[in-house]
Amino acid sequence: MSEVDALQRTLAAEHAAVFVLGALGGRASTLTDPALRTALSAAYDVHLERRNHLRTMIAARGEEPIAAEPAYRLPAALSTREQIADEALRLQRACVVTYGALVAATAGTTRGWAVGAMTQTALTEADFGGRPQALPGLHGA
Amino acid sequence: MSGSPLSRRTALRSGGAVVVLGAVVLSGCDLDPTSSSAPPAAAPRDPDQDIVEAARAELSGLIGRLSATDGAGSLVAVHRAQLAALDGSPPPLTQRARALSAEQVVTRERRAAGRFTHWSLTCANGDLARVLASVATGIRMQPVLRGASS
């Protein structure tokens, strides 16, 4: 996979993450769980920033950043705290795998940025009930 | 979400296979008395070999010391899984290893995470970089570092 292809695939993942986290935040607003709302809001901000940075990196390489899909499929059952947290955790873990692929396809400062994003995303899994793993981002790679 | 076309084990093992194949071909040439008297070219050295060996040694060292440390069983299991991902063999159990204090565990784990991050940034092979970055991340995820002040 070329570096630009990997960046585009990561951008596609971040488009999805921004959409899904926004939707999850909306669902969580009906719950009396400020910790979950805060975690979702913080994750949303981080993914939004990364999405914008990925767009900049791709454009700097003379390519057109791919656009977001009109909508993304959400699980039907998203009404309880556990369901919302589980979906957020699934999303974060998928992003860790995606950033692992970006690490593999890049070098230099871009790889350094990808490693940082991989680590930080994995560390936020705990906010959604995730347990520590020995090798995050490799399963599913 | 994107996947990956190559697994880490495929990459690591295919790299090793190339080196072995090269050695076999060169040794076959040596048996031909009519061949040139020029010395055979050495098999190309894997540019990441030093990093892989250092990474295995780092994990083996941690496993040895943590195996002698009370309450570190889960960390030993984590590092064994990480060492296996690098196709390394766990060190033999000896009674010489000294136990680490709680502060030493944090220091050693933090140092290891930093080293694996550095190796992930400096190695040439992308799939190896992914494995090394995963090890660094996996170490930072463990409660011993999550609960420690930096």
Do residues A133 and A97 lie in contact, with contact meaning Cβ atoms separated by under 8 Å? no
Which has the higher per-residue pLDDT, B14 or A42? A42
Q: What is the DSSP string of chain B?
A: ----SS-HHHHHHHHHHHHHHHHHHHHHHHT-TTS-SSPPPPPPPPTTHHHHHHHHHHHHHHHHHHHTSTT-HHHHHHHHHHHHHTTPPPPPP-S-PPPPPHHHHHHHHHHHHHHHHHHHHH-S-HHHHHHHHHHHHHHHHSHHHHTS--
Give pLDDT < 50 ranges for chain B. Answer: 1-35
Query: A141 pLDDT band (50/70/90 cuts)?
Result: low
* Over residues A102-114, mean pLDDT: 98
pLDDT in tens, B66-109: 999 999 999 999 999 999 999 999 888 766 788 999 999 999 99
| Cα nearest neighbour of A13 on chain B | B1
| Average pLDDT of every residue of chain A | 96
**What are the domain boundaries of chain A?**
3-128
User: In chain A, which residues have their Cβ closer than 8 Å to the Cβ of B2?
Assistant: 6, 9-10, 12-13, 97-98, 101
| Cα nearest neighbour of B125 on chain A | A104
Angstrom distances, CA of residue A140 to CA of A47, A107, A135, B66: 21, 22, 11, 29
Q: Within an 8 Å CB–CB cutoff, is residue A57 touching chain B?
A: no
Angstrom distances, CA of residue B89 to CA of A32, A121, B50: 49, 30, 16
Half-sphere exposure of B117 (CA within 13 A, CB side): 20
**What are the domain boundaries of chain B?**
8-146
User: In chain B, which residues have their Cβ closer than 8 Å to the Cβ of A136?
Assistant: 134, 137-138, 141
**A39 vs A85: CA distance, rounded Å:** 10
* CATH, domain B8-146, list 2.60.40, 1.20.1260, 1.20.58, 3.30.1490: 1.20.1260
User: In chain A, which residues have their Cβ closer than 8 Å to the Cβ of B5?
Assistant: 1
pLDDT in tens, A81-96: 999 999 999 999 999 9
Enter the tokens of residue A21.
Answer: 């986290």
Give the closest residue to A117 by CA, choosing from B117, B28, B144, B107: B117
Task: Determine the pLDDT at residue B46.
Answer: 87
CB pairs under 8 A between A and B: 110
CATH topology classification for A3-128: Ferritin (1.20.1260)
Task: Determine the pLDDT at residue B21.
Answer: 27
For residue A108, the distance in angstroms to the closest alpha carbon of chain B comes to: 7
**B141 vs A33: CA distance, rounded Å:** 24
B2–A101 C-beta distance less than 8 A: yes
Q: Within an 8 Å CB–CB cutoff, is residue A17 touching chain B?
A: no
| Cα nearest neighbour of B135 on chain A | A135
* Element of type H or E holding A25: helix A3-28
Task: Determine the pLDDT at residue A76.
Answer: 81
Task: Determine the pLDDT at residue B6.
Answer: 34
Closest partner residue to B85 among A105, A132, A135, by Cβ? A135
User: In chain A, which residues have their Cβ closer than 8 Å to the Cβ of B136?
Assistant: 115, 119
